[in-house]
Amino acid sequence: MNNSTVTELCFLHTNLLEEDIKRIKELVANLPLIADLNKANVFVDCPTKEGKHAIVVAEAAPSTTKSNYKKSVVGKFAYEAFEPAVFYTLRTGKPMFLNRAVTQEGKTVDQSVVPIKGADDRVLGALIMEKDISEHLQRQQKMEALSEATEALSGILMGLAENRPIIPEMLEESIFFLEQDGKLLYCNPSGTNLIQEIDEDGSWIGKSLVSYFPVIEAILKASDELIVQEVKLLNKVFQVKKIELRQQEKMTGTFVIFKNITELREKERELIVKSVAIREIHHRVKNNLQTVASLLRLQMRRGLPEESKVHFVESLNRITSIASVYEIILSGSSVDDVDLFKLIEKIGNTLILEAEHENKKISITYSGAHSQIQSNKAVSVALVVNELIQNCVKHAFKAIHHGKIEVFFHQIDDQMEIQVIDNGEGYSPKSKSSLGLDIVKMMIEHDLSGCFLIEKAETGTIATVKFPLTRGEVQL
* Domain of residue 160, CATH code: 3.30.450.20
Q: Is 341 helix (H, G, I), strand (E, B) or coil?
A: helix
Residue 145 within a domain: no
Is 8 found in the same domain as 72?
yes
What integer pLDDT is reported at residue 54 of this predicted model?
Answer: 93
State residue 351's pLDDT score. Answer: 83
pLDDT at 35: 93
**Cα 335-340-342 angle, rounded to 5 deg:** 90
Residue 353 or 151, more confident: 353
State the CB neighbour count (10 A cutoff) for residue 153. 11
For residue 148, pLDDT over 50 is answered with no
In a domain, 475, yes or no: no
Q: Which of 21-30, 184-193, 285-294, 419-428 has the highest mean pLDDT?
A: 21-30
Q: How far apart are alpha carbons 444 and 438 in whole angstroms?
A: 10
Judging by DSSP bridges, how do beta strands 451-456 and 226-233 pair with one another? unpaired
Nearest-angstrom CA–CA distance, 153 and 189: 19
CATH of the domain at 404: 3.30.565.10
How far apart are alpha carbons 418 and 387 in whole angstroms? 13
d(CA 241, CA 258): 7
pLDDT of residue 433: 65
Structural domain includes residue 476: no
Residue 83 confidence (pLDDT):
84
Q: Are 256 and 279 found together in one domain?
A: no
In a shared domain, residues 299 and 174: no
**Amino acid letter for position 447:** D
Are 409 and 372 spatial neighbours (Cβ–Cβ below 8 Å)?
Answer: no
Segment 106-133 shows an average pLDDT of 88
pLDDT digits (tens, 9 = 90+) for 154-174: 554 555 444 544 555 567 888
Average pLDDT (324-347) is 76
Determine the pLDDT at residue 16.
92
Segment 141-146 mean pLDDT? 47
Is residue 353 predicted with pLDDT exceeding 60?
yes
pTM to 2 decimals?
0.45
CATH code for the domain of 7: 3.30.450.280
| Residues 200 and 228 grouped into a single domain | yes
Residues 112 and 10 in one domain: yes
Tell me: do 334 and 433 sit in the same domain: yes
**Same-domain pairing of 289 and 398:** yes
The predicted-structure confidence for 415-437, as pLDDT tens digits, reads as follows 889 999 998 887 777 666 677 78
Nearest to 212 by CA among 230, 226, 200, 222: 200
The pLDDT tens digits for 223-252 are 888 888 999 888 899 999 998 887 666 777
pLDDT at 113 over 90: yes
Is residue 451 assigned to a domain?
yes
Measured distance CA(40)–CA(50) in Å, rounded: 30
When pLDDT is cut at 50, 70 and 90, the band that residue 272 belongs to is: confident
Reduced to 3 states (helix: H, G, I; strand: E, B; else coil), residue 349 is helix
Cα distances (Å, whole numbers) of residue 218 to 38, 192, 227, 326: 37, 22, 11, 46
Check residues 116 and 476 and name the one with the higher pLDDT. Answer: 116
Can you list the alpha helix ranges (DSSP code H) found in 362-433? 375-391
Mean pLDDT for the stretch of residues 378-391: 86
- Average of per-residue pLDDT values in the chain: 81
| pLDDT value for 476 | 41
For residues 461-476, give the mean pLDDT: 73
- Nearest to 253, CA basis, from 190, 306, 185, 323: 185
> Of 260, 290, 324, which one is at a domain's C-terminal end?
260
Q: What's the domain range around 448?
A: 265-468
Q: Verify that 309 and 382 share a domain, yes or no.
A: yes
The amino acid sitting at 215 is V
Q: Which residues contact 210 (CB under 8 A, 6 or more apart)?
A: 182, 216, 217, 220
Residues 56 and 84 in one domain: yes
For residue 303, give the H/E element and its range.
none
What is the C-alpha separation between 469 and 3, in angstroms, rounded?
43
φ, ψ (nearest 5 deg) of residue 463:
-110, 125
- 153 pLDDT band (50/70/90 cuts)? very low
Greater confidence (283 vs 132) lies with 132
Is residue 473 situated within a structural domain?
no
Cβ-based neighbours of 255, under 8 Å, separated by 6 or more = 175, 176, 177, 178, 241, 242, 243, 245
Question: Nearest-5° angle of CA 113, CA 117, CA 119?
Answer: 175
* Residues 80 and 222 placed together within one structural domain of the fold: no
Render pLDDT for 49-91 as a digit per residue (tens, 0 to 9): 888 899 999 999 999 888 888 888 899 998 888 888 899 899 9
Task: Give the chain's domain count.
Answer: 3
DSSP letter for 434, please.
Answer: P
Query: For position 146, what pLDDT does the model report?
Result: 38
Model pLDDT, residue 137: 64
Rg (alpha carbons) of the chain, rounded to whole number? 31
> Do 17 and 160 reside in the same domain of the chain?
no
Count CB neighbours of 78 within 10 A. 25
The answer on 230 and 106 residing in a single domain is: no
pLDDT cut 90: percent of the chain above it: 21
pLDDT at 179 over 60: yes
Q: Considering only 3-7, 25-29, 211-215, 307-311, which range has the smallest mean pLDDT?
A: 307-311
Q: Find the mean pLDDT for residues 433-461.
A: 84
